[in-house]
């Protein structure tokens, strides 16, 4: 397993339980990949080092799986945003609409109110901006989408495809739970403790600070690679575009912002959001507090890749790498980096379980294991 994140851990565990000897290698000094959590030495707060992670899923099997390895505490993601000198509730809901427009609308009134604001002259939205204007009109678009999107993606919403904003991003009730999924929660001791338990099996050996290259992999019967697909080929066709994040840590005595996530919608505030990590574990009690200011920018060669860009140029380069990958023998590309897709944790686990099942079937009937068990294109 190249990578000790969720992909490598879940596939490794399933195969180990079937008697396979698994070697897990990760270039980082810790397991957990981007879900890694650790205790802050100054405050004792459990910190999500690569950005906040909230578990949410409708997949009962995945929910049962994570509950096998961790005690989950109920947790609802409730996000606020500061824009134009005021604080609002997200996702845009009845409270946001009433506060923003100084109204006291009920659901049906609010629906008609927003419909009247929507730009109906746009019949076939092509860009993110057109889609947002078509759905919610200029006022809400400029306050809640425009600045944040420019900061997050480093380009104008007129350059992004409409598909990014698939559905009407507004709720006509007071539900401010960010996710719709049936199962939502946080592992009591953090994600790294959960992943450590997944990896804790007599058939699994973990090596940290062990970066794997294509040459080194030849020593193994089969490689499951959850690193960047272009990295496997030494970036020989060029680099796939990603956004990376910078986190500026600061600490505080007491409660700094009163919530876990505060977005910043104004384009002249350089950070996209501030996260206060003790609020991700409300069952714990800490006097001190640790916060991250989060900045988004283009990913350079030495940065950690976070969000795949997946626009037209990247997709055509991806297609070339996928063709190279399909010509490899005994390597399966998995996870968010191996398939160059944004994947939530539950989807990562679902795909990892399916990938392990495909391998066990291939071993069982003597068939070949494919380079991908999902289509990355």
Residues that bind ligand FAD (CB under 6 A): 2-8, 25-28, 33-35, 51-55, 211-212, 226-227, 231, 245, 306, 335-337, 343-346, 348
Are 263 and 148 spatial neighbours (Cβ–Cβ below 8 Å)? yes
In the set 17, 142, 344, 354, the catalytic residue is 344
H/E stretch holding 357 reads helix 345-365
243 part of the active site: yes
Q: What whole-number distance in Å separates Cα of residue 21 and Cα of residue 142?
A: 55
108 part of the active site: no
Residue-wise DSSP of 296-353: EEE--TTSPP-EE---HHHHHHHHHHHHHHHT-SSEEE-HHHHTT----HHHHHHHHH
Our CB check for ligand FAD shows the closer of 40 and 346 to be 346
Give the tokens for residue 46: 């459990």
167 part of the active site: yes
In the set 108, 124, 167, 215, the catalytic residue is 167
In the numeric block, the tokens 């939530």 are attached to 344
40 part of the active site: no
Which positions ≥6 away from 277 have C-beta within 8 Å? Answer: 40, 45, 46, 47, 48, 52, 260, 289, 290, 291, 292
Q: How far is the CB of 70 from ligand FAD (least distance, A)?
A: 14
How many C-beta atoms lie closer than 10 Å to residue 279's C-beta? 21
Q: How far is the CB of 208 from ligand FAD (least distance, A)?
A: 9
Q: What whole-number distance in Å separates Cα of residue 330 and Cα of residue 234?
A: 18
In the set 13, 273, 336, 341, the catalytic residue is 273
In the set 239, 243, 293, 310, the catalytic residue is 243
Q: How far is the CB of 34 from ligand FAD (least distance, A)?
A: 4
Q: How far is the CB of 149 from ligand FAD (least distance, A)?
A: 16
344 part of the active site: yes
Q: How far is the CB of 36 from ligand FAD (least distance, A)?
A: 8
In the set 171, 336, 341, 350, the catalytic residue is 171
Of 262, 237, 251, 263, nearest to 319 (Cα)? 237
Q: What whole-number distance in Å separates Cα of residue 78 and Cα of residue 259?
A: 8
Our CB check for ligand FAD shows the closer of 35 and 118 to be 35
Our CB check for ligand FAD shows the closer of 97 and 194 to be 194
294 part of the active site: yes
Our CB check for ligand FAD shows the closer of 39 and 207 to be 207
Q: How far is the CB of 366 from ligand FAD (least distance, A)?
A: 28
Exposed/middle/buried for residue 190 (C-beta within 10 Å: 0-12, 13-18, 19+): buried
Our CB check for ligand FAD shows the closer of 37 and 96 to be 37
In the set 176, 276, 294, 346, the catalytic residue is 294
Our CB check for ligand FAD shows the closer of 127 and 184 to be 184
Give the tokens for residue 254: 């007491």
61 part of the active site: no
Active-site positions read 167, 171, 243, 273, 294, 342, 344
């Amino acid at each position: 397993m190249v990578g000790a994140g969720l992909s490598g851990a879940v596939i490794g565990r399933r195969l180990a339980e079937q008697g396979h000897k698994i070697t897990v290698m990760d270039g980082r000094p810790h397991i957990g990949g981007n879900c890694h959590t650790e205790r802050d030495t100054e405050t004792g707060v459990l910190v999500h080092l690569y950005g906040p992670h909230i578990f949410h899923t409708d997949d009962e099997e995945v929910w049962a799986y994570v509950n096998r390895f961790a005690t989950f505490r109920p947790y609802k993601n409730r996000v606020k945003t500061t824009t134009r000198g005021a604080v609002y509730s997200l996702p845009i809901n009845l409270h946001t609409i009433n506060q923003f427009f100084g109204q006291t609308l009920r659901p049906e009134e609010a629906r008609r109110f927003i419909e009247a604001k929507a730009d109906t002259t746009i019949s076939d939205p092509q860009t993110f901006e057109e889609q947002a204007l078509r759905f919610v009109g200029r006022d809400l678009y400029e306050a809640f989408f425009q600045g944040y999107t420019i900061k997050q993606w480093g380009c104008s919403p007129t350059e992004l495809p409409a598909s990014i904003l698939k559905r009407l991003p507004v709720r006509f009730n007071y539900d401010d739970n960010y996710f719709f999924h049936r199962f939502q929660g946080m592992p009591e001791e953090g994600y790294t403790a959960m992943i450590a338990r997944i990896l804790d099996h007599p058939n699994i050996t973990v090596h940290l600070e062990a970066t794997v290259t294509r040459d080194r992999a030849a020593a193994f019967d089969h490689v499951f690679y959850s690193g960047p697909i272009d990295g496997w080929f030494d970036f020989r066709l060029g680099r796939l575009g990603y956004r990376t994040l910078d986190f500026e840590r600061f600490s505080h005595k007491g409660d700094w912002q009163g919530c876990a996530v505060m977005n910043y919608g104004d384009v002249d505030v350089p950070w996209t959001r501030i996260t206060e990590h003790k609020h991700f574990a409300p069952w714990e009690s800490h006097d001190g507090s640790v916060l991250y200011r989060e900045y988004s920018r283009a990913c350079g060669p030495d940065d950690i890749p976070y969000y795949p860009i997946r626009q037209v140029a990247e997709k055509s380069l991806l297609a070339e790498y996928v063709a190279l990958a399909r010509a490899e023998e005994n390597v399966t590309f998995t996870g968010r980096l191996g398939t160059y897709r944004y994947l939530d944790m539950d989807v990562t686990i679902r795909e990892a379980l399916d990938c392990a099942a495909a391998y066990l079937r291939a071993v069982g009937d003597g068939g070949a294991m494919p380079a991908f068990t999902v289509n990355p294109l």
